[in-house]
A and B are shown apart, each in its own frame.
Chain A
Amino acid sequence: MTQIRSFSDFLIRVIKIVAVLAIIGGIFVVATSFLQIMFGMSELPLPISPSDLITNPSALISLLTGLMDTDFFRISVFPGFTFVALYGAIAGLWERKLLAKMQMRVGPLYAGKVEGVLQPIADVLKLLFKELITPKGADRFLFGLVPVLTVVISTAAIAVIPVSEHWVIAQSDFGVLVIFAVLGFFPITVLITAWSSNSKFPFIGGLRALHQMVAYEIPLILSTLVAVMYSGSLNLINIVNAQSTYWFILFAPVSAIVFFICGLAEMERSPYDLPEAESELASGWLAEYSGMNFGLILGIAVYIKVYIFSALFTIFFLGGWLGPNFLPPEFWFILKTAIVTTMILLPRGVLPRSKIDVLLRQGWARFLLLAIVNIFIAIVLIQAGVIVPGAV
């Protein structure tokens, strides 16, 4: 496609955009009707005619509340994708402003009138107009698959995370295990990228990322085992309800620290961001990705991951949505999650990058041992009667 030189070029471009949007809309409508059949949304009150709406506005409210009770609304809007994507966009902007203030810069400033609040939208628009380059000799199928796969996997994990007792997509009795099963897919995507790019930097970065994810996954899993033992359930809602008297961070502070640090390493955030180190590896395993491919991984999937780990930390150790009654539980959950997210973003402005051998040795020798020691402490606490498992 050529550059826009005249008004007719511009018109053609606009018509193309509209056509594409229409196609996507069509796909969306088909998918929605498919989901309707799947989730039995036909039990809803039938769509009311506009004349009814004028005479009887309260019908609209019943329609909306009926819509909000469906699984489709949960998946697409509130605890689901739109909410998390919005959270991720705000977290990304917040990270840039925060780092800028820490380093005496101003950060995003021009997009939007106030302090660059529209910067995420500007970024997405820019990336949409960038060409997707596939390097020569790359495996085209796998190379194009990875960005989609990364987003899909990280989206799958938000299904079991409850925002409050009512607002959760899948009330699973195996919530903790589902989360870790989903996290187990990330090493495979990294390996696929490393192999399919046919380039040396992604290869080195991908193998680093693989070893790092693998090294910190076991301590991460074992540090949550303490919360599971205290509550006697794998259901994330039960885990939160078991904290109604005391938060688990009081009884397992070391576990919380291990979870936080291993979360940093799993998310490849500073000081453990060496798989995608900009200055030495040219973004590591992402080096060959351009345009929206890059945007999907680093702009969406990474911030969804940040949300997942902040929410999990809140659920396991900070009592989830429990809080004083004068505000809704959802507010407390989002507030705590936002605080944890800030804690996750902060080290990037403070700490230097770690080394790969130090990192791996720390993960296996220190954090794994700490997690195991924590389990024994938990056993002692339960046997001594300090904590009664399953107490609500």
Chain B
Amino acid sequence: MGAIDLADIVFYILAIITLASAILALEAKEIVYGALALALSLLGVAGFFILLDATFLAMFQITVYVGAIAVLIIFTVMLVRREKWVEKEGVNRVAGIFVTLLVALGMGLVVLQSNIGQRVASKEAASFTQIGVQILSLYWPVIIILSLVLSAAVIGAIALAKLDRG
């Protein structure tokens, strides 16, 4: 029983960290703090992956999201940031929160109403070596298309980011 209790505690700590830093990412006054909070939030999601027996995916998430995407985001934030930065609010914040609560209510009701939520996980988790087998047999077209998408992303991003001097 002891181990299960520990997993529950870890789950709730992770939930608090993830949600709080996700809110902080959007609401922090200083946008560099916001970017760091985003990285922390992504780390929290990786923690959920570990709890779901998807350690390989968690490591993938940390290496790609925290190690690469977050670094690129923080770098760009430092590049475009200025000392006195007044951020304009697009819509009235109250209206935004109202719309958001509506979305949350709808989706939450769907989750709570259906009986799918009470499922219990199977004892054995699938082995992570199956990922390689699956993406190279069943989903092999996705890999090829993904390589093209990634290539296009790099080329497009560089074409956008360079100064146009011919």
Contacts and interface: CB of A to CB of B under 8 A. Distances in A.
B90 to A, nearest CB: 27
Nearest to A179: B59
Of the listed residues A183, A184, A214, the one surrounded by the most CB atoms of chain B closer than 10 A to its CB is A184
Nearest to B78: A195
A214 B55 contact: no
Contact of A195 (B32, B56, B67, B71): B32
Nearest to A178: B59
Nearest to A141: B33
Contact of A177 (B6, B59, B74): B59
Interface stretch (A6-14, A77-85, A185-193, A242-250): A185-193
Nearest to B30: A139
A44 to B, nearest CB: 16
A216 B87 CA distance: 37
B68 interface: yes
Contacts of A187: 67, 71
B14 interface: no
B74 A181 contact: no
A180 interface: yes
B63 A188 contact: no
Interface in A190-213: 191-192, 194-195, 210
B66 interface: yes
Given A210-B71, A214-B71, A184 B66 contact: yes
B2 interface: yes
Interface string B47-71: 0000000011001101100111011
B75 interface: yes
B39 interface: yes
A124 to B, nearest CB: 31
A188 B71 contact: yes
Nearest to B56: A174
B36 interface: yes
Given A185-B66, A185-B67, A191 B59 contact: no
A181 B71 contact: no
Contact of B75 (A38, A173, A185, A210): A210
Interface of A: 38, 40, 173-174, 177-178, 180-181, 183-185, 187-188, 191-192, 194-195, 210, 214, 217
Given A180-B67, A191-B74, A214-B71, 10 more contacts: A174-B55, A177-B63, A178-B59, A181-B59, A181-B66, A187-B67, A188-B70, A192-B36, A210-B71, A210-B75
18 contacts: A40-B2, A173-B128, A174-B55, A177-B63, A180-B59, A180-B63, A181-B59, A181-B62, A181-B63, A183-B67, A184-B63, A184-B67, A184-B68, A185-B66, A187-B71, A188-B66, A188-B70, A195-B78
5 closest A-B pairs by beta carbon, nearest first, are A184-B67, A177-B59, A181-B62, A181-B59, A187-B71
